[in-house]
Amino acid sequence: MHAHPRDLKSNTAARLMSVAAIRARLSMLAVAYAARIGAVNMNDVLATASAVVAVFGEDHDLSREMRSFVDSLPELRRHVPDLAAAGDRLIRAVERTTWPDDAGRADIHG
């Protein structure tokens, strides 16, 4: 069985998109954990925000969360507990968009 070149191209694009999505999520987690310990680097934050928007688009939950974090960062940096809480929100956003909904799981809900 031979694959059509068009199918190979679309499969490659899908794989690259999923790799880009994984990288963007991991970068977002890195920023989140840095925020939790009060050690954010603005260059990392801006690079991650750009990557997340580029991969997921402007209206995606991760993009909105990341932009909100960037917008509030000047104030958050003044109070480490608030910065840590913002890092937790970024972690929860990645979890929400990565893990399946529990309601559909037969091993939990029968």
The string of pLDDT tens digits covering residues 32-77 is 999 999 999 999 999 999 999 999 999 999 999 999 999 999 999 8
Roughly what angle, to the nearest 10 degrees, separates helices 80-98 and 61-76?
170
pLDDT band per the 50, 70, 90 thresholds, residue 6: low
Containing 88, the helix (H) or strand (E) segment is: helix 80-98
Residue 48 CA to residue 107 CA, distance in Å, equals: 35
CA gap 16, 90 in Å, rounded: 24
What is the number of H-type helices and E-type strands within the chain?
5, 0
Q: What percent of the chain has pLDDT over 90?
A: 67
Question: Are residues 45 and 87 in contact, defined by beta-carbon separation less than 8 angstroms?
Answer: no
Q: What is the pTM of this model?
A: 0.77
